[in-house]
């Protein structure tokens, strides 16, 4: 079974820090209370996964996170028969376990999965809230404590990897974007330990890189990369090296584009750690 699965236990020691940009927390809670599925849309590294972890901990819910990929099939989610000790036994997949036990099942970057995955979700994302298991003949009814959450990056779609309108319209949706400058500075400073004064030019640089998205860059610098950069600088690394390794190299392999980004970074953040 080729699947990346992470399960966060119900007993969460603390709520992961999260800085709301709008009413997303209230909308999440309202969807949860009314047993509605939720779709998170936004660029890579803008905080969608952190948001889900924050809300799961806040609501004291078990969280199963499934990282979707090209080889992820419906059977990886629902389960399959496996040989164990000479016997053939049914083994639940993570989606089936979540439906049986309750909690949040989070499909991260759902468009990366194979098309048959979204078909499996249809009966869970309407008023039926059921999961048919053809192999075992079971029809599982999702308990009140079950919630399905999915995320994807609309800006990275193409003709092959896209979410059909018929699937999108089965979810309540929240659009995410990068935080306003002052808020992002505060978040990066908190996560990295670097002062806000030192973080500010890094955020300005990220904004300049993001303005190039769709032209020279496929994606702009994420908040995640900003945290990485600030963390390295706070650990003593030279600004130029930290920016190169976290905010330039991950964004492009094109030598000309890379040279242009280095020139921009020199103008914005300089070359010394103060």
What are the backbone angles phi and psi of residue 215, rounded to the nearest 5°?
-110, -85
Whether 37 and 167 share a structural domain:
yes
Q: How large a percentage of the chain has pLDDT more than 90?
A: 77
Show the beta-strand stretches assigned E in the chain.
4-8, 38-41, 63-67, 79-84, 87-92, 103-108, 130-133, 138-141, 146-152, 172-175
Q: What is the pLDDT of residue 218?
A: 85
Residue 274 lies in a domain: no
**Domain count across the chain:** 2
Domain of residue 192 covers 181-269
Calpha distance 28→47 (Å, rounded): 14
What is the average pLDDT across 19-46? 95
Terminal Cα-to-Cα distance of the chain (whole angstroms): 50
CATH label of the domain that carries residue 81 = 3.40.50.300
Whether 9 and 29 share a structural domain:
yes
Q: Of 138, 153, 175, which residue is a domain's last? A: 175
Whether 169 and 264 share a structural domain:
no
Q: Which of 56-65, 76-85, 235-244 has the lowest mean pLDDT?
A: 76-85
Whether 161 and 190 share a structural domain:
no
Whether 21 and 101 share a structural domain:
yes
Other Cβ atoms less than 10 A from the Cβ of 52: the count is 24
Calpha distance 52→12 (Å, rounded): 13
Query: 178, 225 in Cβ contact below 8 A?
Result: no
Q: Which residue has the higher pLDDT, 271 or 124?
A: 124
Whether 38 and 165 share a structural domain:
yes
What is the average pLDDT across 199-210? 97
pTM of the model: 0.87
Answer yes or no: is pLDDT of 9 > 80.
Answer: no
Structure tokens at 30: 């309202």
Q: What is the pLDDT of residue 273?
A: 47
Residue 226 lies in a domain: yes
Whether 123 and 161 share a structural domain:
yes
Q: Is 72 helix (H, G, I), strand (E, B) or coil?
A: coil
Whether 169 and 211 share a structural domain:
no
CA-to-CA separations, 263 to 43, 165, 176, 269, in angstroms, rounded = 25, 42, 30, 10
Q: Of 175, 206, 225, which residue is a domain's last? A: 175
Other Cβ atoms less than 10 A from the Cβ of 217: the count is 17
Q: What is the pLDDT of residue 162?
A: 77
Q: Which of 1-5, 27-31, 66-70, 233-237 has the lowest mean pLDDT?
A: 1-5
Cα–Cα nearest to 180, from 227, 223, 231: 223
The residues with which 80 forms a beta bridge, in sequence order, are 91
Q: Of 153, 175, 197, which residue is a domain's last? A: 175
Residue 122 lies in a domain: yes
Whether 165 and 191 share a structural domain:
no
Query: 107, 150 in Cβ contact below 8 A?
Result: yes
Average per-residue pLDDT in the chain? Answer: 90
């Amino acid at each position: 079974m080729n699947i990346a699965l992470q399960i966060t236990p119900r007993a969460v020691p603390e709520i992961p820090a999260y800085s709301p940009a709008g009413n997303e927390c209230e909308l999440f809670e309202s969807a949860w209370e009314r047993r509605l599925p939720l779709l998170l849309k936004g660029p890579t590294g803008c905080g969608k996964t952190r948001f889900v972890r924050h809300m799961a901990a806040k609501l004291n819910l078990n969280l199963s996170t499934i990282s979707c990929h090209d080889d992820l099939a419906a059977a990886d989610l629902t389960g399959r028969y496996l040989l164990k000790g000479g016997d053939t036994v049914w083994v639940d997949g993570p989606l089936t376990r979540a439906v049986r036990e309750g909690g949040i099942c989070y499909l991260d970057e759902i468009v990366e999965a194979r098309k048959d995955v979204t078909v499996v979700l249809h009966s869970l994302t309407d008023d039926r809230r059921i999961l048919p298991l053809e192999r075992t003949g079971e029809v599982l009814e999702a308990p009140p404590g079950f919630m399905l959450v999915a995320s994807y990056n609309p800006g990275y779609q193409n003709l092959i990897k896209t979410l059909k309108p018929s699937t999108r319209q089965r979810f309540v949706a929240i659009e995410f974007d990068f935080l306003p400058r002052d808020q992002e500075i505060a978040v990066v400073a908190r996560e990295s330990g670097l002062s806000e004064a030192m973080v500010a030019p890094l955020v300005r640089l990220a904004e300049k890189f993001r303005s190039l998205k769709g032209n020279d860059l496929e994606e702009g610098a994420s908040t995640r990369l900003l945290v990485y950069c600030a963390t390295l600088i706070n650990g003593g690394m030279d600004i130029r090296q930290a920016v190169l390794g976290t905010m330039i190299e991950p964004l492009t392999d094109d030598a000309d584009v890379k040279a242009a980004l280095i020139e921009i970074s020199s103008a914005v953040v300089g070359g010394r750690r103060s």
